[in-house]
Structure 1
């Protein structure tokens, strides 16, 4: 317990953490600044050393296993908030600094997503079963950051806002052909085809998503203009006027960025437009949490903008627009977390208690990363021509208003 106590004294600078060890002894670590008050019990002495050398991985696994518990009214949410507001001091602890420097040398290999390998990584997360995702996503099953234009909007309204914003940034014209890379369960592709007279091809590596998206296109009477393919984006051969990708770029990996943007370049004409919606972070290049990489998103990484824009420059692509969504994903995750907890007994029945605890840790830790950490979501609009999109940004606001009116005319209200 000595080494762990030494680290926690350095780590907790905001709020207070009380640790009850396996022998029932209390250890109090208090910062000089106000913050969350958390009482935690560690029932396995092996955690003392492991938490020092593998803090994030061990904390997640200990919660999943029930060897890390919260007492006296404290919750997992309280603990993860305490962790998030003190994250910078943990990173400055000498042992953590050395370990991070070593891991950074191998970070690209941790993000490998070669063909075949990428499909295995996607299946690990997205093929858990459509019935599982229906328990906490919105009615249209959109599994990415929503866009809350007004306080108090429902998750369904905010997800429609997000689709509308992306549609406007694509600057669609009748007769265009659109590629949706990482199309999920198909709602964006269907929305674009309902809104405009365009043809949409969605590609995904998830068998579960592909099957449901295809059924949805048929049910909507749009199978003649919307089709979904179980395919790696690198195998797409057709040309497209517009390309959109939502929540997929996080699965590309830094070592594959050049490959990704080269492919976009090859698929678009000079006046084509691509819009990328991706999780990122405002801090310098880093690594994915080892716990997230092991249990949730193998091969995943949310980049710093500096890593992305450098590669677009190398591929002669104009960044015609950047927008950063800051707190929107924190609110989205809070909605998912509430719905997950309301259906927790069903999750346990589908899988087991350890799986439910894993997803609780995932949803709440990610919410804290967006609420008090360095995570954000960015939109990149890209083209080979500087004037492929309107050069005055008013069209984004005006277009959203026009699409709201069109949705009403078409009966697409949420």
Structure 2
């Protein structure tokens, strides 16, 4: 009979809340005291060498393939793994090997399309009607997800302190929500770039349908190909895709796309401490080429670019809540997703959404908005932050 001692040591070190584990031979072990938050069922032996070298990838694939079953709250289970300093995700003795990833324009395009070009119909199943796939902004606990996504866009535009007739560039524009609000509510000329064919087609059709050809423009191109300058630049959920080796160039491109004294609002997932870096499972199955920088990395690149910082706002709890609502929405369409994409695909996305919610809940990662100026800090901005919240009220950020 296989000695399960090492497996038991890993489980004992990895959870700071009570759980039950059922091994492949039927043995059941309880860890911690009190009511278990979840039960882990291992249907097969998982090679120790795989756990030791590729922990998140090994367990992620085992869950996708049904070799591991989770009974109970998956988000809480992952949260307790992140919260334990001795867990296989945090302790160096259980460290994972992370492959390097190139980020040429061709590879970046392939990486983005592998995620976003699953099909607009897939995202329409569980996103809100704004088709916004990034952290929402809950001005009130009672906000719906749709309201919170409108809040986020307006909060960003309000921070920029825009004036009618000015121009704004949205790097990684998604399905265009920010651009359409910028044009229709703030009377700005908005330009967006994306590498996703599906997003480009969606935005192009909407521009034509709403008769906004003179105020909204979208291009299917890499942000590094741009040459024009704009009064404002926004980029939401984008720098996580550019790769560690390209972060300096990314922030330099933000600066180069701004007019003198222009303002930029950069919104993205950021580690408060060491940062999450690259997760092998997410890198392979969800975001090829992804990298989450820590806050010091981003600040360093901002300094190198000679932009100046006007405001930094963490929104960790907002993304946790966003992901929890996405998870609930995703569960409501489980049968449809499984029918169209298969059980393994459904389990992969379910794990992704809940693991990310747990990562934000535990403080393993954060999402931060950086308000930046090309030129002396605050030259075009009021003296205090009150202008942001006054504008939020005026623009119905609930």
Q: Is this a same-fold pair by TM over 0.5?
A: yes
Matches of 1:37 and 1:86, distance apart in 2: 15
- Residue 16 of structure 1 deviates from its aligned partner by 2.3
Task: Tell me what 2:304 maps to.
Answer: 314
Pair 273,153 (structure 1): closer, same or farther in 2 beyond 3 Å: same
Structure 2: gaps (5+ residues): none
Paired residues for 1:2-401 under 5 Å: 2-12=5-15, 14-30=16-32, 36-71=36-71, 74-86=72-84, 89-90=87-88, 93=91, 95-96=93-94, 99=95, 103=97, 109-110=100-101, 112-385=102-375, 386=377, 387-401=379-393
Residues 275 and 364 of structure 2 are in contact (CA less than 8 Å); yes or no, is this contact kept in structure 1?
Answer: no
Pair 187,158 (structure 1): closer, same or farther in 2 beyond 3 Å: same
Matches of 2:90 and 2:42, distance apart in 1: 24
Matches of 1:340 and 1:384, distance apart in 2: 41
- Residue 189 of structure 1 deviates from its aligned partner by 0.2
Residues 4 and 51 of structure 1 are in contact (CA less than 8 Å); yes or no, is this contact kept in structure 2?
Answer: no
Pair 36,238 (structure 1): closer, same or farther in 2 beyond 3 Å: farther
Secondary structure, aligned partner of 2:269:
strand
- Residue 94 of structure 1 deviates from its aligned partner by 5.3
Matches of 2:395 and 2:41, distance apart in 1: 53
Secondary structure, aligned partner of 2:396:
helix
State the TM-score, normalizing by the size of structure 1: 0.90
Pair 396,36 (structure 1): closer, same or farther in 2 beyond 3 Å: farther
Residues 179 and 192 of structure 2 are in contact (CA less than 8 Å); yes or no, is this contact kept in structure 1?
Answer: yes
Matches of 1:297 and 1:63, distance apart in 2: 18
Residues 134 and 141 of structure 1 are in contact (CA less than 8 Å); yes or no, is this contact kept in structure 2?
Answer: yes
Q: Residues 174-206 of structure 1: CA distance to partner in whole angstroms, max 9, x if unpaired?
A: 221111100001111000000122211100000
State the TM-score, normalizing by the size of structure 2: 0.93
The total of aligned residue pairs comes to: 393
Matches of 1:88 and 1:193, distance apart in 2: 50
Residues 203 and 228 of structure 1 are in contact (CA less than 8 Å); yes or no, is this contact kept in structure 2?
Answer: yes
Residues 319 and 367 of structure 2 are in contact (CA less than 8 Å); yes or no, is this contact kept in structure 1?
Answer: yes
Residues 194 and 220 of structure 2 are in contact (CA less than 8 Å); yes or no, is this contact kept in structure 1?
Answer: yes
- Residue 81 of structure 1 deviates from its aligned partner by 3.2
- Residue 59 of structure 1 deviates from its aligned partner by 1.3
